[in-house]
Amino acid sequence: MNDASRMATIESLVDFHTFSIDRSTYIWTGDKYFYEDRFYSDKPPIMALYSSVFYLFLKSVFNLTIATHQSATYFLLTVLIMGVMSSLGLVCLYEIFKFFRIDERWTNIVLLLAGGER
C-alpha cells in the first residue's frame, strides 16, 4: 500500500501524540525511514496533519480507531478527506465563475462535470 506510512502517521499523531510510527498498526509498511532509532513516514507531513483532524473526529465521536476498525476507519477517512477537499474546490470554482460573471448554465455544467469526474 503506497500510503500506509501516511495512515501510520495519522494514527500515531492522534493515538500516540508523535510522528514516530513505531507503535502504529501500519508499522509493516515499506514506505518509511529510520532516524535516531525510530521509524517515520517517508511522506510529507502536511496531509497527515490535515487528515488527523478527521481521524480525531471519528475516534472521538464514533469510537472508530485504526487499530480496532481498520477497514471502516480507512474508508471513512478517505471519504471525509477527499470529500471535504473536493467540495471546497467546487465552491472555489463556483465563486471564480461568479466573479467573472459566467452564465449560470455554463457554471452548472462545468461544476457537474468537475464534481462527477473520477
| Residue among 24, 42, 25 nearest 33 (CA) | 42
Decide: 4 and 41 in contact? Cβ < 8 Å: no
Residue 20: pLDDT over 90: yes
- At 108 the pLDDT is 94
pLDDT digits (tens, 9 = 90+) for 87-102: 999 999 999 999 999 9
Q: What pTM, to 2 d.p., does this model score?
A: 0.83
Reported as a pLDDT band with limits 50, 70 and 90, residue 116 is confident
Rounded to whole angstroms, how far apart are CA atoms 35 and 26? 17
Block residue for cell numbers 477517512:
77
- At 48 the pLDDT is 97
